Each structure stands twice: as C-alpha cells, then as structure tokens.
Structure 1
Amino acid sequence: MRVRPTRPGEVRRLPSLRAPAAASRPAGTSVLHAVAVVGSPVALATSLMVYYGWVRTRAKAEKLGYDSALLDFSVQDYLLRSVDVLFVPLTLLVLIALGLHWAHQRVVLPTVRHRRLGTALPRVLTGTALLLGLGLVVLTVLRPHIAGTWFPYVLTLALVSALYADVLRRHVGHSRVMAPSLRVLALLALGLTVFWDTERIATAVGEGQANNIAADPDQLVAVTVHSAKRLATNLPGVVETPVTSPGAHAKFRYDGLRLVQRSGNRYFLVGTGWDPAHRRVMLLKETDDLHLEFSR
C-alpha cells in the first residue's frame, strides 16, 4: 500500500484504534437490561397481588373473629386468593379503557377540532374535577363516615377528569396546560388512588365472604371430630357425644362443625349456630388424638 507523503505543515490523522461502541459492550448487558425491564413490572405486580390477597384474607378473618396471622399462609396462598379480588375489577377496567379509547378517537377528537368545543370541553372537565374535589371536602366535614367510603373512588374520578382535560388542551394546542411537574404529581396521585380503590375492593370481597358464611354456615363442608380427649368448646350448634364402644380410641365425638379454612395441619371451624354478635372460631391442630371426617 502506498502512503502519500505529508506536505510541510500538514498533520496526518492516524486511524482510530477505538473499537465500535457495540463491540465494547459486554454480550450479557442487553440481556440484563431486558430482564430488568420485564422483571421490574412483574415483581411489582406480584407484590401487589400478594398484598391484595392478604387484605382479603385479613378482612374475612376479622369479620369471622380470628387473626389471619394464625393461618401462616405462604406467598403462593396469597397470590391465589388475590385472583377473585382482581379478576372482575381488571376485566371491567379493560372494557372501560377500550370503550373510552374508542370514544376518544371517534367522538371526542373530531369534536374538539371545532374551536368552541375544543375550548369548552376541557373547561367542563376541569370544572367537574374541581366540583368533585370540593364535594369531597364538604362531605368529609359533614358526613365523614360516608366520605370515608366514597373518598378514593371520587378522588380517582376527579384526577382522571383533570388529566383528560389537560390531554385535550395539548391536542388543540392550548397554551394553558399543566406544568410537567404538576402532571407527574397528578399521575402519581392517580396511581395511589387506584391502589386505594383496589384495596377497598379486596376488603369488600373478604367481608362479603364472611357475611355469606355468617348468613348460612351450613353451606360449608361439615366436619365431625373424633377425639381421644374432651375438647373445651362452647361453639353454638356443636353437639358433644361420649363414645362408649369398648376399645374405641376416640372417647368423644363432636357434630355440628363447619370448615372455614384449612392451613397446613390447622383447621378453623365454626358451629352451625354461629352468632355474629359472639364471633367464635375453633382452631384444631391435626394430631394422633384427633380424627376429622368431612362431608357435604
């Protein structure tokens, strides 16, 4: 290869020895990045499901009269118990989101192209958000027990109205839009209210299951306990019968019990005459002195 001689005063540039950026990056970096991008949302979703399963379990236990810590559930147990909490709300949320997206594309956007409507609709949404917020304040002062029930749902609606009004203003090129920092705070508040809403739903599901049991304990699996020793129980509806058969290991039989929950070798039982005013739950651990029979 011929090398052109340099002229007087000319500086020759040598070829760069720096490797391409892609080549200098470790091979596993892109894989780790992909794992981080996918793994973080999955970990967050799993944590939320465990939490909602725990809230549902705690609400049911408190309503029936025992401490949910006695169950000693695993993470998998709480995950399974969050399914009935999240299935209906998530299904409704997806359907509502699809409907709102269709309305936004087919109805709202063609409407706001008109100058007057493009100005009026964001104002209506902003006014709605302000009225909802003011109504929450007034209701909290006058009727705190009612406000406590509806507070997260109404606050969610107010934040959605305010944020959607800002979206429409940006679409029509309006100069008065939310500052980026304010928009971030509003989105953060919306995420917290959705979390709060779902927690309320989980509590309602747990309490609803407990109320269903209290209304008709006979719907649960019937349990007959055979015990070598007398059990100290005064559950309403439970009948103790001494066993007089010679050579029988069990000396007492207990009828009128219903299975509320099983966790490992522990059984949570109520009597057929369970009284919400005097909530009593029997906890039995499976031992050699106990024999349990289940029937429908």
Structure 2
Amino acid sequence: MTSEPTVEKPKEPPEPRPEPEPAPKPESAPKPEPKRALESAPAPKRAPEADPSRDDPVEAAESSSDDLMEAAEPAASAGHPVLRWALAVLANVTVMTALLVYFGWQRSAVQAFELGIDESILDMSTKDYVLRSVGPVLYPLMIIGVAGLLWLQVDHALAPRAKKHGTQDRLVRQTLRALSLAWLVLPLTMWALGFVLRTASFLAFPFSIGAGVLLTLYGTHLRTLLPGASPRDGMPLLYTFTSIIVCVSLFYGATNLAIYQGVSLAQNLVVSDLTRVTVYSTERLYLGAGKESALPASTGKAAYKYRYGNLRLFAHTGGRYFLIADDWRRDHGVVVMLAESSTIRLELGGP
C-alpha cells in the first residue's frame, strides 16, 4: 500500500513578543539646541559708546560753549528783532557800497555843474567816487549809530513792561499810540520845519521817512509782546516793504546831502588855496585861462617854446588835468582841460 507523500507546511514565524516598557525616567529640562540657545539667551548690556569729541578736552569745552551760546542767543536777541533787522539792512556791504558810489557821483555832478562843466568829462572811476564820499558820509552814519544805541536803551526799558503789564501800563499805551502814527507825523514835522530852517529840513526830510516807518514797525513788534497777543500774519511782507522804504529814503537823503555839499564846495571854493601850476609846451596851446609867454632859447628848455602861468589845479582824473585861472570866479572864468602828453610838462607848486 502506497502511502501519499506528505507535504510539509511552512512554519509561520512566531509572533513578536512586546518589549517591556522602560521604566519612566525623572523629568529634566530639555536641552536647547546650540543655535536656539544663543538666540534665546538675553543679549549682554553694551557699554554706551564714548563720544569722540569728549576725548579731547579742548573740543569738549568748545562744544559745551557752543551749546551755551545757542541756548543764550534766543534769550538775548528776542527782545529787539527789529533792531537786528535794521542793522542788517544798514550794514549790508552792497547797500553801503552803492550808497557811497551814488553819493560821490551826485556830489561831483553838482559841483561840476556849478563850475560850468559837465561831470562826464571828469571821467572819475568808482574808486574816486568812494574816496570822495567817505568823509561826508561819516556824519550821517555816526548819527544813525547813536540813534540805534538810544533805541536799544528804550527797548531794554519798554519791552519788559509791555510783556508784564501790557496796555494797562500808561507809558506802554501812549508809546504804542505814538509809534502807530510815527510814519506820518515825523515826515510832516520835518516838512513843517522847512518854513523856519530850510536847510535842516531839506537834509532831514528824506531820513525822517525811513525813521518814521522803522518806528511804526517797532510799535507793531511791541504789540506782539503784549499778554495774550497772537502772532501777526504777514510780518515777513511787512519787513520786506519796510526794507524798500528805508533803502529809498537812504538814497533820497544821500541825494539831498550830495546836492548841498556840491553847491557848498563850488560856492566856497577859494582859488588861492589850490595848487599853483605852470605849463610848458612845445606848441602853442591857445588856452582860455592863464598867462602865456614865449620862452627864449637861453632858458635851457629849448624843447618847450611856450610857458603858461597863473593857473591852479582844480582836479586830476582820468589822465587829464583840469586847470582854472588865478582870477577865476563862478560867473566869470573857464576850466581848462589838458590831457597827459609828451609835448607838455606841468610844474606844480612854487611861488
């Protein structure tokens, strides 16, 4: 009997046994990663950086002094901005130079007209005009400087009272009333003075216009200091228009002063005080002034044939000599003009 073959079945793998759970370990703080630990750690406090200017005691002292000056400047200059503005206008180099040149030209033109000649033939340079203006302009500038100092003293006494008491102070109230009309009253006063002192009124009237406008502007500034006063709109425009009026009054006053001095110089000209001049020429000049005489050859001046004496030097500008006779008068006499040339020679001075 045959037996069937037996087929062995593969054995299934045994089921894995569950591993025993490890015993719980005591809890501990998790260790942060190195990068996160650095990020989470608080940044150490850094010492304040030292100011390089403080390392040098000299620079530190200079910076501290500058700070003090900046802090003190508003307090020192807040009381008189009108005065600082007026000084900036008057002390402007362009304005002063133009004023000197204009004054010199105007005075020379009037003086030349009184002498019977035209100013253009004098051919003066800008330097000539300025040098002829320095002396006469010093007196008006001195008067303006003294008036400015007095104005500072008045402001020093008036501004604190306006800030503290306002219009309740009688002096402040009357001053504000007078300043508001100064632009009209002061010029009218100078004009009325002309009926009594004509020359003084003629010289002072143009400057009174500028002074009156400045006083009115100062009154407007004082009103801004009153208790409870609000800042006024349009103050920059007010300063601008006042600057125009002040500059025009300066040139107007310079014109009147130049006219007065030009006429005075021509009328008070003393011919004998001028330098004596003797002219030698190789040719006859036919001068309308002076005394002509022919030179003999024995004089040792063979190159010059004619001599002209009794002349005085009036001016020397632009390479030309302006001569007048010893007996010259405003209503009788001429002014001789000689250009520098190799054919003539001038001797100055002498008996």
Identify whether the pair has TM-score above 0.5, normalized to the shorter chain: yes
Which residue among 285, 292, 295 is the counterpart of 1:243?
A: 295
Q: Tell me, yes or no, if the aligned pair for 2:312 and 2:326 is still in contact at 8 Å.
A: yes
Structure 2, unpaired ranges of 5+: 1-34, 37-91
Q: Tell me, yes or no, if the aligned pair for 1:169 and 1:177 is still in contact at 8 Å.
A: no
Displacement, 1:134? Answer: 5.0
Displacement, 1:131? Answer: 2.9
Which residue among 89, 113, 126 is the counterpart of 1:75?
A: 126
In the alignment, the residues of structure 1 paired with residue 124 and residue 222 of structure 2 have an alpha-carbon distance, to the nearest angstrom, of 47
1:196 aligns with: 252
1:29 aligns with: none
Structure 1 184/58 Cα, relative in aligned 2: closer, same or farther at 3 Å?
same
Structure 1 208/263 Cα, relative in aligned 2: closer, same or farther at 3 Å?
same
1:164 aligns with: 218
Does 271-280 or 178-187 show the bigger shift? 178-187
Does 112-121 or 275-284 show the bigger shift? 112-121
1:71-220 aligned at under 5 Å gives the runs 71-105=122-156, 107-109=157-159, 112=162, 113-114=164-165, 115=168, 116-133=170-187, 150-173=204-227, 179-180=234-235, 181-213=237-269, 216-220=270-274
In the alignment, the residues of structure 2 paired with residue 44 and residue 91 of structure 1 have an alpha-carbon distance, to the nearest angstrom, of 17
In the alignment, the residues of structure 2 paired with residue 148 and residue 42 of structure 1 have an alpha-carbon distance, to the nearest angstrom, of 27
In the alignment, the residues of structure 2 paired with residue 93 and residue 188 of structure 1 have an alpha-carbon distance, to the nearest angstrom, of 18
1:60 aligns with: 111
The one-letter code matched in structure 1 to 2:252 is W
- Give the 3-state SS of the residue equivalent to 1:82 in structure 2: helix
How well do the aligned residues superpose, as a CA RMSD in angstroms?
A: 3.5
The one-letter code matched in structure 1 to 2:148 is A
- Give the 3-state SS of the residue equivalent to 1:269 in structure 2: strand
CA deviation digits over 1:103-130, x for unaligned, max 9? 321x333554552222211112333433
CA deviation digits over 1:53-110, x for unaligned, max 9? 32232232222222222222333333322322333322332232122212321x3335
Displacement, 1:148? Answer: 6.2
The one-letter code matched in structure 1 to 2:181 is G
1:222 aligns with: 276
In the alignment, the residues of structure 2 paired with residue 149 and residue 99 of structure 1 have an alpha-carbon distance, to the nearest angstrom, of 21
Structure 1 184/47 Cα, relative in aligned 2: closer, same or farther at 3 Å?
closer
Q: Tell me, yes or no, if the aligned pair for 2:203 and 2:257 is still in contact at 8 Å.
A: no
If you compute each CA radius of gyration, which structure gives the higher value, 1 or 2? 2
Displacement, 1:204? Answer: 3.1
In the alignment, the residues of structure 2 paired with residue 52 and residue 147 of structure 1 have an alpha-carbon distance, to the nearest angstrom, of 19
Structure 1 250/69 Cα, relative in aligned 2: closer, same or farther at 3 Å?
same
TM-score normalised to the size of structure 2? Answer: 0.60
Which residue among 285, 292, 296 is the counterpart of 1:231?
A: 285
The one-letter code matched in structure 2 to 1:118 is V
In the alignment, the residues of structure 2 paired with residue 164 and residue 61 of structure 1 have an alpha-carbon distance, to the nearest angstrom, of 42
1:24-63 aligned at under 5 Å gives the runs 41-63=92-114
Q: Tell me, yes or no, if the aligned pair for 2:101 and 2:129 is still in contact at 8 Å.
A: yes
Q: Tell me, yes or no, if the aligned pair for 1:56 and 1:85 is still in contact at 8 Å.
A: no
Q: Tell me, yes or no, if the aligned pair for 1:224 and 1:293 is still in contact at 8 Å.
A: yes
Does 59-68 or 115-124 show the bigger shift? 59-68
Displacement, 1:269? Answer: 0.8
In the alignment, the residues of structure 1 paired with residue 243 and residue 93 of structure 2 have an alpha-carbon distance, to the nearest angstrom, of 20
In the alignment, the residues of structure 1 paired with residue 258 and residue 286 of structure 2 have an alpha-carbon distance, to the nearest angstrom, of 34
Structure 1 122/187 Cα, relative in aligned 2: closer, same or farther at 3 Å?
farther
Q: Tell me, yes or no, if the aligned pair for 2:325 and 2:333 is still in contact at 8 Å.
A: no
Aligned residues: 250
Q: Tell me, yes or no, if the aligned pair for 2:202 and 2:256 is still in contact at 8 Å.
A: no
TM-score normalised to the size of structure 1? Answer: 0.70
Which residue among 280, 285, 291 is the counterpart of 2:339?
A: 285
Displacement, 1:224? Answer: 0.8
1:6 aligns with: none
In the alignment, the residues of structure 2 paired with residue 149 and residue 45 of structure 1 have an alpha-carbon distance, to the nearest angstrom, of 19
2:312 aligns with: 258
1:10 aligns with: none
In the alignment, the residues of structure 2 paired with residue 228 and residue 145 of structure 1 have an alpha-carbon distance, to the nearest angstrom, of 50
Of structures 1 and 2, the one with the larger relative CO (CA 8 A, separation 6+) is 1
Structure 1 137/89 Cα, relative in aligned 2: closer, same or farther at 3 Å?
closer
Structure 1 117/147 Cα, relative in aligned 2: closer, same or farther at 3 Å?
closer
- Give the 3-state SS of the residue equivalent to 2:225 in structure 1: helix
- Give the 3-state SS of the residue equivalent to 1:287 in structure 2: coil
Displacement, 1:178? Answer: 8.6
